[in-house]
Structure 1
Amino acid sequence: MKHIGIIITDRNDPTAQAFQNACVSNNIKPHMIDLREKKVIIGESLSLQIADRDLQQLDVIIVRDVGAGGFDGVSFRFDVLRQLEQEGVPIINSPVSIQNAANKYYASSLMAKAGLPIPKTMVVQDTGNALNILDRMEDAVIKPIFGYKGKDIVRIKDGTIINNDGTTNDSELEGTIDAILEQRGMLYIQEYIANPGRDIRAFVVNGKVIAAIYRTAPEGAWINNLSQGGNESRCELSSYQIELCIKASRSVGTYFAGVDLIEELNGSNNGNGDKSLILEINATPSVAGIYKAWGINAAKYIIKNISSDL
């Protein structure tokens, strides 16, 4: 029997459970592994075990979630994954591809290098330049480089901060920019794309789009993430959108990924009537939205693809 390790932080997470069940249904032994429990003793040799489980003996490791927290802790857990990879254990997604996708600045750079359409993006490290950019863009969003689930995003339109529900925020803009800079040390500023009130999450596995959903924001809101109250519905992608998603996944090196597209209302098309732009890539995506909309079990699809190579 083959053995697959599943890196988790929450045993009750629906995606983690979906991977576990998919292993069982394919006659594979799943091992749920929380790297926060890992301790290492470095001496004449390096132990890569958790409890009595030798991680080097696993046939494959799938990364669902390494956990958040302080930089040192997260970095250590990625170091463990890299060490396992160096010892010959296949890691899916690879540590490098997860880090590529998680870093919005670097992911945007990789996608731009691959010639993929993304919103106008600028990065600055001081308030003066930030205010000038926001004035020129007129409508923009400031995102944390390592943000997730639509959290901590700030929208600024014509110098006014716009809350997620569409109402205005009376906070003073310069003070808000100063506070964000003090916390993060830089600003990742992206042009806000006027859209139909939705974005698209496509699930890519091994160079193929298996399904896509619309994520529609609650009425009046502008953040579409399901974790922020958005609703999922079926989406049929155009051939051009499918090509974008596959190329985006390839550009950051992921085996499977959630690729987010936005349909620009007022932009110029790409020669075929399509005005889609790539917002970002998630290398540890939830499978819940795709399953609710389509009944497609992406975890089962991933495990089936992996097991055929074991």
Structure 2
Amino acid sequence: MKKIGVVGIPKGWSTLRLLDALEAKTGFRLCIDMAEVRLDLDTGKVFCQGTDLTGLDAIIVKKIAPSYTPDALDRMEILRFLHQKGVPVFSSPDSMLRLIDRLSGTTVLRLGGIPMPPTVVTEDIEEAAATVALYGKAVFKPLFSSKARGMTVIEDTPDAREEIADYKAAGNQVMYIQKMVSHAGGHLDLGVSFLGGKYLATYARQGSGASWDTTTRTGGRYVPHEPSQEIIALAHRAQALFPDMAFTCVDVVETPEGAAIYEVSAFGGFRGLLDACGIDAASAYADYVLENI
């Protein structure tokens, strides 16, 4: 019997899907809540509620924390320690570390020649205001967030500097500013998914029209989508810049000027693939891990 633990949220939907899939295939079930983990550097052991994680056959990271914060990077370091001790961790802790921090992931993408919406990073309010004036309308994105949480749209108006100052004062010392781009063919953002570096399927998030973003958190819904081969190839290039990502989703936007990448996900999502494509990603992921340990 293979013993595979799942790092996730104990009552989270995707965590439970993955736990169910692994238990059905192996007879073993272990949810690892990183808030309950103890790293003993003297013995080189890592425990979660009495279970020695160094004795597992593998660990799958489904969700490192309920929301992204710099603390998630410290949790990833513990998983990197486990990986160095010989426990296979899916995905690569080094790649996930780069992707949790939006700026870190963005620099890898841009240095890799991946097209993205125009983006400026600065701590200076005047530089930020000049960027908003240049873009006309910009999305200010926290460096640690998911599903558009904490993002703010600021337009080039007389109140822009005050809005920028308020945004920075709210804990965003480093401001990641991205031009709001037009969507081609409807208010859709694409989730191009990969398993083991191979293309799996694509779903789209369709905005409700009630919000500027397309996330399900603000009323968006998952719909089927068949992307062009060019988009699949672009997304493949983007995720390949982060080696050994076992399961990931690349966020793509189609603009009148062509396709661009928003980000590569550190963990990927199961819900979109299931609702829009009828694909049980949890089961497929479990099979992939069992075949590769």
TM-score bracket for this pair, using the shorter chain length? over 0.9
Q: What's the CA shift string for 1:158-199, capped at 9, x where partnerless?
A: 337xxxxxxxxxxx3222211222312111011111012111
Structure 1 residues 201 and 36: alpha-carbon distance in aligned structure 2, compared to 1, 3 A threshold: same
Structure 1 residues 96 and 59: alpha-carbon distance in aligned structure 2, compared to 1, 3 A threshold: same
1:280 aligns to 2:263 (yes or no): yes
Alpha-carbon distance between aligned partners in 2 of 1:181 and 1:143, rounded to the nearest angstrom: 11
Q: What's the CA shift string for 1:27-56, capped at 9, x where partnerless?
A: 35231111111234444x233122331101
Task: Give every structure 1 segment of 4 or more consecutive aligned residues whose post-TM-superposition deviation is greater than 4 Å.
Answer: 68-73
Secondary structure, aligned partner of 2:29:
strand
- Indicate conservation of the 8 Å contact 1:262/1:276, yes or no: yes
Q: Tell me which residue corresponds to 2:238.
A: 248
Deviation of 1:221 (Å) = 2.4
Aligned pairs for 1:60-71 (under 5 A) are: 60-68=58-66
Structure 1 residues 207 and 50: alpha-carbon distance in aligned structure 2, compared to 1, 3 A threshold: same
Q: Tell me which residue corresponds to 1:306.
A: 289
Deviation of 1:305 (Å) = 1.4
Runs of 5+ consecutive residues of structure 2 not aligned to the other structure: none
Aligned pairs for 1:231-242 (under 5 A) are: 231-242=221-232
Structure 1 residues 258 and 157: alpha-carbon distance in aligned structure 2, compared to 1, 3 A threshold: same
Give the partner amino acid of 2:28: K
1:126 aligns to 2:109 (yes or no): no
Q: Tell me which residue corresponds to 1:262.
A: 253
Alpha-carbon distance between aligned partners in 2 of 1:251 and 1:283, rounded to the nearest angstrom: 12
Q: What's the CA shift string for 1:99-128, capped at 9, x where partnerless?
A: 211222121111112221111111011111
Alpha-carbon distance between aligned partners in 2 of 1:21 and 1:59, rounded to the nearest angstrom: 17
Give the partner amino acid of 1:251: L
Q: Tell me which residue corresponds to 1:5.
A: 5
Alpha-carbon distance between aligned partners in 1 of 2:15 and 2:110, rounded to the nearest angstrom: 32
Give the partner amino acid of 2:44: L
Q: What's the CA shift string for 1:9-40, capped at 9, x where partnerless?
A: 2x222211111122123235231111111234
1:193 aligned to which of 181, 190, 215: 181
Give the partner amino acid of 1:257: T
- Indicate conservation of the 8 Å contact 1:68/1:74, yes or no: no
Alpha-carbon distance between aligned partners in 2 of 1:206 and 1:102, rounded to the nearest angstrom: 19
Alpha-carbon distance between aligned partners in 1 of 2:137 and 2:45, rounded to the nearest angstrom: 52
Deviation of 1:208 (Å) = 1.6
1:78 aligns to 2:76 (yes or no): yes
> TM-score when scaled to structure 1?
0.87
Structure 1 residues 90 and 24: alpha-carbon distance in aligned structure 2, compared to 1, 3 A threshold: same
Secondary structure, aligned partner of 2:3:
strand
Deviation of 1:144 (Å) = 0.6
Q: Tell me which residue corresponds to 1:35.
A: 34
Structure 1 residues 41 and 103: alpha-carbon distance in aligned structure 2, compared to 1, 3 A threshold: closer
Q: Tell me which residue corresponds to 1:25.
A: 24
Give the partner amino acid of 1:264: T
Q: Taking every aligned residue pair, what percent have the same amino acid on both sides?
A: 25
Structure 1 residues 134 and 75: alpha-carbon distance in aligned structure 2, compared to 1, 3 A threshold: same
State the number of aligned residues: 289
- Indicate conservation of the 8 Å contact 1:150/1:228, yes or no: no
Runs of 5+ consecutive residues of structure 1 not aligned to the other structure: 161-171, 268-274
Alpha-carbon distance between aligned partners in 1 of 2:149 and 2:114, rounded to the nearest angstrom: 25
Give the partner amino acid of 1:2: K
- Indicate conservation of the 8 Å contact 1:4/1:28, yes or no: no
Give the partner amino acid of 1:249: Q
1:112 aligned to which of 91, 110, 113: 110
Alpha-carbon distance between aligned partners in 1 of 2:70 and 2:204, rounded to the nearest angstrom: 36
2:166 aligned to which of 160, 169, 179: 179
Deviation of 1:308 (Å) = 1.2
Alpha-carbon distance between aligned partners in 2 of 1:70 and 1:214, rounded to the nearest angstrom: 23
Secondary structure, aligned partner of 1:66:
coil
Secondary structure, aligned partner of 1:39:
strand
